Each structure stands twice: as C-alpha cells, then as structure tokens.
C-alpha cells in the first residue's frame, strides 16, 4: 500500500511528538522512542534532567520532518 506524504506530515504534526504516529504509519522502527522520551521528559522535570530529554524529543521530532519524504519514497519501491 502506497503511503501519502500529506498524511505522514499530518500525523507528524498532530501525533508525532508524543506517540510517533508518523513512524507507525510509515512502518519505521523507533516509534517507541516518542512515548518513552515523552514520559521521561515530564517525569524528569521533577528530577532535573527532564528539560534535556525534552530537547532530545524535539530534536528527534524535527529530524523526522526532514526524513519523512525519504521514508515515503522508500515505501514506494
């Protein structure tokens, strides 16, 4: 089944940074990192390193925005 770039970006924007919906849609590995980092960042806010974990989460989310077109093209092959 061919994946749609617009749907992938919509999932990235709406569910991407807390459950990794775009990665699930595109069948990419590593979708489990998003809920893990989300939990650790907010749990860690009470302990101190939560801000660093949150920055890692945002960085991963932005990196995925760059990689989505490549993942969609890979799915087409």
Show the domain range for 10: 5-76
Q: Are 68 and 12 in contact (CB under 8 A)?
A: yes
Count up the domains in the chain and report the number.
Answer: 1
Chain position carrying tokens 């999932």: 11
pTM higher than 0.85, yes or no?
Answer: no
The answer to whether 54 and 41 are in contact (CB under 8 A) is yes
Helix (H) or strand (E) holding 54: helix 50-76
For 11-38, the pLDDT digits (tens) are 999 988 788 888 888 888 888 888 877 7
**DSSP assignment, residue 35?**
H
Tell the residue number behind the tokens 């940074």, with chain if given. 17
- Calpha distance 77→73 (Å, rounded): 7
């Amino acid at each position: 089944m061919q994946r749609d770039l617009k749907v992938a970006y919509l999932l990235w924007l709406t569910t991407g940074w807390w459950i990794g919906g775009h990665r699930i849609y595109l069948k990419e590995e590593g979708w489990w990192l998003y809920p893990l980092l989300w939990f650790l960042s907010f749990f860690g806010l009470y302990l101190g390193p939560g801000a660093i974990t949150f920055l890692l989460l945002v960085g991963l989310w932005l990196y995925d925005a760059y990689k989505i077109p490549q993942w969609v093209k890979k799915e087409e092959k």
